[in-house]
Amino acid sequence: MEKQYQKVQDNDSLVRNSGSNAIININESAYQARLRQIEESKNQAQQAEKIDKLESDVEEIKNLLKLLVSK
């Protein structure tokens, strides 16, 4: 079963799959840019998690030091 694609009017980056009627973006550079954007977003989320963990650890260390000093 061969897929049949029809160009979308006024947009060279889009085609319509005639079998499912789905619109597909065939612009490879836009696809790669989106993949990079997703990866960057994941990296930023991981960095934010690490920063939150470090802040929590520092707060815990401060509390332990205060406890030691008060004894």
Domain chopping of the chain, boundaries: 5-70
Residue 52: Cβ within 10 Å count: 10
Amino acid 22: pLDDT = 93
Sequence-distant (≥ 6) Cβ neighbours of residue 20 within 8 angstroms:
none
Considering the entire predicted model, what is its pTM?
0.61
Taking the CA atoms of the chain, what radius of gyration do you get in angstroms?
Answer: 26
Stated as kind and residue range, the H or E segment containing 33 is: helix 28-70
Distance from C-alpha of 22 to C-alpha of 15, rounded to nearest angstrom: 8
Residues 52 and 45: beta-carbon distance below 8 Å: no
> What integer best gives the mean pLDDT of the chain?
93
Amino acid 19: pLDDT = 87
Amino acid 1: pLDDT = 52
